[in-house]
Chains A and B, each alone.
Chain A
């Protein structure tokens, strides 16, 4: 299968306050196929966010390799990683993901400027905002929106610059079930329309049905894949 992202023997070790080693991720091997909605499932503390951070190049693994689009990105310089993050990756964070000083339109605009996208931004921004059903509210500030609305803008922003993959850390964590489901539907639609891959973490078992692939984590290890 064509994988956009592969993690090999990923280990992440932190020093605890007492100076002891704590292994958050213990030699995980993971493959993320292209144009799929992949979920990392697990309880709080299972290591899924740490793994997501490593796979998205926000964090460096203690050992192991991350192959992104056929290229080993482990051990790359900060600048190179930043370039990948800017251009090829989109992020949706659990909360406060939007930049509070920018309105909906500007938040999306900012991501496109960062990725140095070609062409007219305006059409693309408006298109993205329509996709997430937020075009009417594009001039609103984040503080004037509900959690779900904010998350939809965050998704539009994560996808606007046409990344290859979008990482979403508990995108529905702060939302009620209904809104959460709506966000998931949005993800599904975007995979179709924008040709992207989505890797998200969640602890909500109700969402599992919507995933193309689920990895279940426990105690820093992948214990199941279905």
Chain B
């Protein structure tokens, strides 16, 4: 049997190679699933941690305890330390596989009033001890408390640069804590031995940085013990932080970690974990990723299986004589199927060797997509080979073998006579007879209708992070298949109609080609279905990916409002008012340093924007309290720097609004949301007040001004009308005023610097420049970075990756499948061509006939596929958009087509048809008529 099988493989080497290709694609597409999933989940975690670091400027994965030890329970600091150590030991027992990057413990007394020796007004400071801090600091002035020689009656302490600046303290100054008295009635006196900063700004030891401990003075363990022993106090407070190495946390151990952390939280009221939110968000997104991966993979798998079935059917059709010969020689059906089983088993085994590495590469490719059909491969290290891929590969190969054997089983059931008559009597396919296409289309339209009715709840679910309904996506597939088949049915009717209309006039070539198309619909139907579906799916995938990417980018561009913006760190001058209250003024950094950004060509223009999101607006008796976004802008510069699409405010260009404010120093532009809420119109005067940033202060209004409404806008750079709080839709209100008046009325306050970057300048160039100028940034936002972050989110990554993968596989299979179909069908029709030629048909006419067949079957199918793809885009992409961009936004979801994608598809199909015609022409030219006729006799 093995010999026969090998002979069979040799005889049909091209078809066998195609089958192997199909199987390899199947194995590859299926086995890359777990790798992609694991990689995505790890990327999700990594991104979550990275984003946390970026947004909070803090280490992301920290567990710890905070609390207090009363004087009675804790005689000296070592007791407290031992107690904390026992907890650490417990954590290590359960979370031991994760390395600890560093630990920090802070012990402190309550803030007490202190008098500075050099006559400063008096401060409220907390005496603090951090074990091992001396090896992580650099003394910038004076000495360390360990080396300080001492002043009688004074205990040495050190302070951070921040405390030095904000409280105006210097090295050598004494601090008298008047409320602390020992048994002899002496107050506690410290001397500032030195000023320190962290020795390395990246040192993880400083989870809480010296700058954040802005009301603390630091002493040695001995001093801390001495105070504990000799002074009256209620408790010492402590905060312990253990920094877990987040690179050790991955999709494998995250569930265990979550379980243990929940156990710790339940058992220990003082336990803290900084990343429970991250884990919860991860778990939520994991559900979506899971569903999405399968949903997007399904069409690929379906396509590959259809391809395998088609090739196998083709092989069986060319071997029908052999099958009947085997049967006539007494081979049972079972044995024939077994023989084909061995043949496909060999192929399946080979496909594993090819498919698994191919799956690995496909996964890397999909993971490396930054946009549809765009690759970067920078961020693919999380995607690693997983042994389970072999199991997935095996399953895929097995399913592939089953699909190969289906046509064999059908063939063995049929006698040679039935087989022959099946080929020529042109029975319509089963789907056509039972109107499967119409039913499928009906179901999908009904589902689409109900999803559209249900849009709000889908949106809400997506916002809440609930599991996505896979049918939203799968329904598009149903629609494409249903409509594809209906269109195929209609094109058959159309071809028939055209044939009937011109029946009397058709030249022989056209006549024969029409009859060929009409009478072999069941055979040609499969390649037509394949063509329609691949073209439709390819286009639909391309459009969906483009639409989702472009809309995401547009929203980012809109929300940032310009190319990039930064907020520099502004120092404060603090005025102490009482123990719990102080006031401050900001010290404006030198703005002229930014001028060079424009002079050096990094930016086209820059501008200052004062931003306050907690302003209050009054109009008549109504007000919007602490929720209005107040912006102070220089109109001309803002117009040059900010970006807004022209058409977003109806017919009026937004520059007109800028001009109206420029002409009226007291004028403001307000958002339509504010106008609606307070019933304000143009020309009305509103009052706007600002709060101080520090809460809990008594007199909290920084300033108030009355301004005239010049314009009402729907859209403004950086202003999004909608936001969500705990899943609920809320509205933002905007007031845009002249910079000068805002700065004057509300005292000097930090502003953002908005930058319109020059062509080709990356945000990294700007950061390098700012670093060179020693500009200390509080935060920065850039379209470039935000888009990159967006593209690295698993949802987008998977979508781009899977759509790209399915587009490429569709193209390859479509091209190969198409050629295979035509070439083997021509071989089958060799005798027929012999008859045509013998009857005197010219080669030219035979070519004409084939071209006509291509026009009315291939070209019509491609056209139909394109139509189905585009129609599905219009019907479904907005619905998909709700899953990807569920939040209500100023910008509606726009559908995007990229001509390039259509061109790519068209070029591949054109090349495919051209190659096909060239090969066919060659075949026909070399056709020996007498030989062909002899073939028939045999």
Contacts and interface: CB of A to CB of B under 8 A. Distances in A.
Return the 4 tightest CB-CB contacts between A and B, nearest first: A86-B840, A85-B840, A143-B424, A101-B519
B516 A101 contact: yes
Contacts of A96: 831, 835, 936-937
A115 to B, nearest CB: 8
Interface of A: 53, 58-59, 78-79, 82-87, 89, 91, 93-97, 99-102, 106, 109-111, 113-115, 141-144
Interface string B913-938: 00000000000000001100100110
A143 B843 CA distance: 27
Contacts, number: 83
A13 to B, nearest CB: 15
Contact of A100 (B508, B832, B933, B937): B832
B515 A144 contact: no
Question: How extensive is the interface on chain B, given as a class?
Answer: 20 to 34
A111 B506 CA distance: 13
Looking at chain B's contact residues, the main secondary structure is: helix
A93 B838 CA distance: 10
Nearest to A54: B930
Given A58-B838, A113-B511, A114-B508, A99 B424 contact: no
B840 A114 contact: yes
Interface of B: 420-421, 423-425, 506-508, 511-512, 515-516, 519-520, 831-832, 835-836, 838-843, 929-930, 933, 936-937
Given A86-B840, A113-B508, A113-B511, A99 B832 contact: yes
Nearest to A98: B835
Contact of B835 (A53, A79, A93, A141): A93
Contacts of B832: 99-101
A82 B844 CA distance: 11
A76 B379 CA distance: 70
Contacts of A59: 929-930
Given A93-B933, A114-B508, A87 B840 contact: yes
B838 A99 contact: no
B840 A83 contact: yes
Contact of A142 (B424, B511, B839, B841): B424
A97 B511 CA distance: 18
A84 B937 contact: no
A141 to B, nearest CB: 6
A111 B841 CA distance: 10
16 contacts: A58-B930, A59-B930, A82-B840, A85-B838, A86-B841, A91-B838, A96-B831, A96-B937, A97-B835, A99-B836, A102-B512, A102-B515, A110-B508, A110-B511, A113-B511, A114-B508
Nearest to B424: A143
Contacts of A106: 515
A59 B515 CA distance: 29
Contacts of A99: 512, 832, 835-836
A154 to B, nearest CB: 10
A113 to B, nearest CB: 4
Contacts of A110: 508, 511-512, 839
B839 A114 contact: yes
Which of A86, A91, A113, A142 lies at the interface centre, i.e. has the most chain B CB atoms within 10 A of its CB? A113
A113 B839 CA distance: 11
Contact of A91 (B425, B512, B839, B841): B839
A33 B720 CA distance: 98
A119 to B, nearest CB: 12
Nearest to A96: B936
A86 B839 contact: yes
A57 to B, nearest CB: 9
A143 B421 contact: yes
Contact of A143 (B420, B838, B839): B420
A144 B519 CA distance: 14
B842 A79 contact: yes
Contact of A82 (B420, B841, B936, B937): B841
Which of A84, A87, A101 lies at the interface centre, i.e. has the most chain B CB atoms within 10 A of its CB? A101
Contacts of B519: 101-102
Nearest to A112: B508
Contact of A101 (B420, B515, B839, B933): B515
Nearest to B421: A143
Which of B506, B507, B519 lies at the interface centre, i.e. has the most chain A CB atoms within 10 A of its CB? B519
Nearest to B517: A101
Nearest to A84: B840
Contacts of B508: 110, 113-114
Given A79-B842, A143-B420, A143-B425, A95 B515 contact: no
